[in-house]
Structure 1
Amino acid sequence: MRKALVLSLLAVVLGGCASKPAHRDISGVWINQAAIDAAAHGGNLREALLAYGPNLEWDIDAKNATANYTNGFESVEGKLIPEDDGTWQVSFYGSSSTGLSLEGEELIQGETDAEPRQPFVRPRITAASDAPLGASFETALNSAYLGGQWRVTSGMGKGNQVTFLADGQVNGLPNTQNYVLCLAGDCASMSGEHDSLWLQQGEIGAAHIFVRNGPRLEIFQALDSAEPDDMPQFYPGKLEWSLEKL
């Protein structure tokens, strides 16, 4: 009788342990593909990012209990804490926290008072291991938003075929080797309602305003209306290039 009771209690304990959801390994990089897909329609870039953001990429290390994210202008470090129901809490320095869970192949960032529910997926191509947080998102965004072949229809180099590479290089645009799309932060504040990007040749670079309308891309000089000691406030100046997607 006593032996049967012990076995019965053991079964209850083991059954309780077995019923606790197991934690899958969520280590690695996750990107906000919904924001990328919205941008890929070829409209205003920052509107698409704001509509499906604000967070763009998570980098999680379950072994070391860290979970860091970027929203395009800052990187935030958090501590990853597994919950009994198979989900996770990410505690940030201070009092704030957010929940993470898996739904199929998506990592879901739970809704909070400050942020909406956001899904993330594994990137098809991950950045180098020493790349900064956000690099995988930027690579995927560059490919989706500006990938493919373009032709200069007006401006210097008219008739040139232009390729914006996913790694931030550009071929065929005169006097330009590299580009960086403005996602958020100071560059967004400086360009106000306009989309902007940075174009660089060697050590020389400058901000530009651009307008994307489906298969058409217009790039303008960025003129500054601010006082000399104030943060720049850019607005579109002379049209430098018009490009059309082939």
Structure 2
Amino acid sequence: MRKALVMSLLTLVLGGCASEPAHRDISGVWINQAAIDAAAKGGNLREALLANGPNLEWDIDAKRAQANYTNGFERVEGKLMPENKGVWQVSFYGSSATVLSLAGDQLIQAAAESDPQQSFVRSPVSVTSDAPLGSSFEAALKSAYLGGQWHIVSGQGQGGEVTFLPDGQIKGLPGSSIYALCLAGDCASMSGEYDSLWLQQGDTGAAHIFVRNGPQLEIFQALDAAQPDEMPQFYPGKREWVLKKQP
């Protein structure tokens, strides 16, 4: 009798666990796919990010009650607490809390005083376990925004082919082997209304201004209008390359 009762209780417990939808666990890396899709249209990069941001990636560990996000220039750590069924609150030291919920396969960040409502999807990108927060978003963005083959229409290496890799490597652009897109923060302040990227070969690198117009990418030298004791203020100088994306 006692054995039968125990088995009945165990069945109820296991049945209750099985009935709880697996998708209720929000642990994992979530990226702002809307911002990536907007950028992939081939226009101004930072305008696309600002219109769909400001947050770019969440990294959530429900078991440890941790929920961290990045907006492209800072990492913000929060404490995750269940609020209602399918709703979580993330509290941050010294600032207001954020509410997260699931809607189908999307993670929804509720609108707040300073931020609009934003949506995120589970990252399809695999990065190393020690990669900094934001790496998944950046890899997906680079693939969508600069992926594919580019033909050098003018500039050094004219006639050659250029490939921007999601891990930040660049192949075929003379004098450069590494690149980084400016998403936010100091580099955005220094380039003002312009998009910028960093190009580097070995230990030597420099900021550049770029203009994306559909399948065409123009890369300019970045000239500095600031005084020596001021934060740099970059503007386009000599055009170094015109690249055209291959169909």
Specify the code of the residue in structure 2 equivalent to 1:238: K
TM-aligned CA deviation for residue 84 of structure 1: 2.7
Partner of 1:129: 129
Runs of 4+ in 1 over 4 A off after TM superposition: none
Cα-Cα RMSD: 1.6
Taking the aligned partners of 1:100 and 1:201, their CA distance within structure 2 comes to 42
**Partner SS state of residue 156, structure 1:** coil
**Partner SS state of residue 218, structure 1:** strand
Matched, 1:239 2:239: yes
TM-aligned CA deviation for residue 70 of structure 1: 0.2
Partner of 2:177: 177
TM-aligned CA deviation for residue 183 of structure 1: 0.1
Identity score, percent: 73
Partner of 1:186: 186
Taking the aligned partners of 1:61 and 1:133, their CA distance within structure 2 comes to 13
Q: Figure out how many residues of one structure are paired with residues of the other and give that number.
A: 229
TM-aligned CA deviation for residue 201 of structure 1: 0.2
TM-aligned CA deviation for residue 44 of structure 1: 0.1
Taking the aligned partners of 1:49 and 1:112, their CA distance within structure 2 comes to 18
Taking the aligned partners of 1:73 and 1:92, their CA distance within structure 2 comes to 17
Per-residue CA shift, 1:153-193, capped at 9, x if unaligned? 10000001000001110000001001000000000000000
Matches within 5 A, 1:192-203: 192-203=192-203
Query: Which of 84-93 and 196-205 deviates more?
Result: 84-93
Taking the aligned partners of 1:157 and 1:55, their CA distance within structure 2 comes to 37
Partner of 1:64: 64
TM-aligned CA deviation for residue 126 of structure 1: 2.5
Per-residue CA shift, 1:87-124, capped at 9, x if unaligned? 00000002410100000110000011110000000111
Matches within 5 A, 1:85-100: 85-100=85-100
Per-residue CA shift, 1:47-81, capped at 9, x if unaligned? 00000000000000101101000000001000000
Specify the code of the residue in structure 2 equivalent to 1:162: V
Taking the aligned partners of 2:188 and 2:79, their CA distance within structure 1 comes to 29
Taking the aligned partners of 1:45 and 1:128, their CA distance within structure 2 comes to 26
TM-aligned CA deviation for residue 237 of structure 1: 0.2
Taking the aligned partners of 1:84 and 1:151, their CA distance within structure 2 comes to 53
TM-aligned CA deviation for residue 128 of structure 1: 1.1
Per-residue CA shift, 1:190-240, capped at 9, x if unaligned? 000000000000000000000000000000000000000110000000000
Matches within 5 A, 1:142-161: 142-161=142-161
Matches within 5 A, 1:2-17: none
What residue ranges of structure 1 are gaps of 5+ in the alignment? 1-16
Taking the aligned partners of 2:135 and 2:184, their CA distance within structure 1 comes to 14
TM-aligned CA deviation for residue 125 of structure 1: 1.3
Matched, 1:53 2:53: yes
Partner of 1:3: none
Taking the aligned partners of 1:208 and 1:227, their CA distance within structure 2 comes to 19
Matched, 1:106 2:80: no
TM-score of the superposed pair, with normalisation by structure 2 = 0.90
**Partner SS state of residue 96, structure 1:** strand
Specify the code of the residue in structure 2 equivalent to 1:175: G
Taking the aligned partners of 2:244 and 2:195, their CA distance within structure 1 comes to 18
Taking the aligned partners of 1:70 and 1:107, their CA distance within structure 2 comes to 15
Partner of 2:11: none
